[in-house]
Chain A
């Protein structure tokens, strides 16, 4: 026995020798990851700069992910001076010249987040460690966005959040390296409440069905906060798992709960399923407490409306952007997206497209790809002509502030895409809140 141990002893020593030799050889190669001599991670060398597009290609938010990817590809085209230029022609305060970024051609890599934090982080790590991506963008779920944002902050690359609506992304989980153009549930609540009061009165009883993760909790909280301020009561708030598919077991109890408004804090395929089932169960035909039963979907998108078909007619919600807007920027974007793919873009596509352009523009303004310079350029940046009117990237929490759209499912759509009707454009001042309200800490940029 002792003989054997001895043998193993010598062998493992030899093994360790081998290990250290191999280790030295290996660590020498990808010095970019460890070596502090370089100014920043993944500094672009040569004629290209690589962006990482991390979107859900499978799972409950796959439709949004596919549309986001289309928008990213379009943005890359426009940045490289191909195509008709899209919003590059309408953006104000612009440093971009339409021949790449800082003279480098924009290239990209893609990955599948699977709408799971683990998979999303693995995919983002691959882009950073293997493909040399200088910026990560995407995500169609706040859980994923928060997870990837903190990863990017740890590593030191910029994260331009795609479709993420939870307050936490730029609230308690905000990070120095993360930026969000999309609006949040606080803004949705503030914009939606006055419309709900006008349409449904102020003595309603609400029942929430909530997707059980950070975004659902956030939206439930915001809608409760603003509707209860109107005088509404909240009967119950039931959490449902993400990607449940069948919501009948959650909808049945609503029928006899005494509530007269159902708030669906669902998104993507979940919302399509829960809304369809709620309508099939006859909720909208019911009279409760002497009032017509109503359904509210606080976060609405055209992709979901398309999935839910007839059922969305007359239903209220809020949205970040809709293709039917007639400002110059929106028209330019819809035109070039339509020419490329044959149908109008969704709000997810819009925010991702804008984020890519904003990042590129910030690099151009800063004159470097160094994240610290880019962050400085983005903080407090004001721009217009990107579809939302005058917009500002607030320096305190890296959240964009702009007008919010309240929409209603179109009763008489003129085409298969004309599904949402804008009922009110809530001005920025009405949805603005102090950055300190949501807590969190940005941290520092490590130059």
Chain B
């Protein structure tokens, strides 16, 4: 059987965490090498990385495939914007409320959905998420402002800010005690949350609680025979991952104070499933890697237009350049979905463990035994199915 959690020394975990922190904080540097070194995309990397980490705690560890996690993302966003509108532009209450509310929401949906398992569970979560989406889109328009999206306006009440005599200069943007959280400041705030979320995920992976979640995945019946009731553990995992999603949604609204219903659509729920599987299901780093890959394609590949292609192939003779442009044209620009689809297929067929498995194979190929032994234990056995 797959053993995801191996007892590993504290030191190893610490070095994993350290590497992670270093990689995240230097993101603007390595990001600029691949054309991703600008705040908005880096924020997206961090936010969706967080979303995927949380999702992985449910799907990766327990094997319960939820198709409705975008609903929690949306709840997090709406709560954050409402906190901005009613209380304060400070992000601390906004984040706290978002996590708490999405947790409560996840508790309700999880309590109902977890009465079933397998495909029935997936369908139930999908149904709840779609219900939430439709509520946000057209029924609860006084709360959500429908398709237009909920925005922070200058003349909102903001009782705490007003009581403290904080006046608004320029447009209302999320701030942390005077630091406006847009641009790189916003990214570092998201990065701090990502590191925190990663650390928590690492702790859960290594904890007896995490062990029980894996036990649910490998054989729930056997677990019941040994005297454990899996339901509370499942529900906890569901709520925790819902809170991660809420936090991610909150960060989306903090870096860009707007909440729209399309964040709750089933395609958004499907996206996080893709991210997790693409990166490596049940691994520590995989989901973040998958999230970054998908966001990279969405933002960078979709922007490659004919002009850019022609410039790229300008060094070739004209006829060859023309042929190259014709060949590559369908895969970039509006065809970015196609490229992503092909990539996804290739990875699922040849590397079922996701990108992480690919890296592991590479390191085994080039680095020999040494590199392989350096690979964190959680990754080395991460591939499922």
Contact = CB atoms under 8 A, between A and B. Distances in A.
Given A33-B184, A111-B303, A129 B147 contact: no
Name the residue in A14, A26, A123 with the highest tally of chain B Cβ atoms < 10 Å from its Cβ.
Answer: A26
A118 interface: yes
Contacts of B170: 154, 446
A410 B258 CA distance: 43
B32 interface: yes
Nearest to B260: A117
A108 B311 CA distance: 13
Interface stretch (B19-27, B91-99, B319-327, B369-377): B19-27
Nearest to B305: A110
A121 B44 CA distance: 12
A154 B171 contact: yes
Contacts of A126: 38, 40-41, 299, 303
Name the residue in A18, A30, A58, A130 with the highest tally of chain B Cβ atoms < 10 Å from its Cβ.
Answer: A130
Interface string A18-34: 11001101110110011
Contacts of B305: 109-110
Given A18-B21, A18-B25, A109-B303, A33 B138 contact: no
Interface string A125-164: 1100111000000000001001100110110000000000
Interface string B27-52: 01100100101111100100000000
A195 to B, nearest CB: 30
B262 A118 contact: yes
B333 interface: yes
Contacts of A150: 151, 171
A311 interface: no
Given A18-B21, A239-B138, A129 B334 contact: no
B67 interface: no
A226 interface: no
Interface string A86-130: 000000000000000000000111111000111101110110011
A4 B21 contact: no
B334 A112 contact: yes
A441 B146 CA distance: 22
Chain B interface size, as a band, is: 35 or more
B40 A129 contact: yes
Name the residue in B14, B18, B184, B333 with the highest tally of chain A Cβ atoms < 10 Å from its Cβ.
Answer: B184
Given A108-B307, A214-B147, A33 B263 contact: no
Nearest to B40: A125
B308 to A, nearest CB: 8
Given A112-B302, A143-B149, A212-B146, A121 B21 contact: no
Nearest to B188: A23
Contacts of A441: 154
A56 to B, nearest CB: 10
Given A126-B299, A242-B147, A11 B17 contact: yes
A130 B299 CA distance: 11
B188 A19 contact: yes
12 contacts: A22-B26, A23-B184, A33-B183, A112-B334, A118-B262, A122-B40, A126-B40, A126-B299, A146-B148, A154-B173, A213-B147, A214-B147
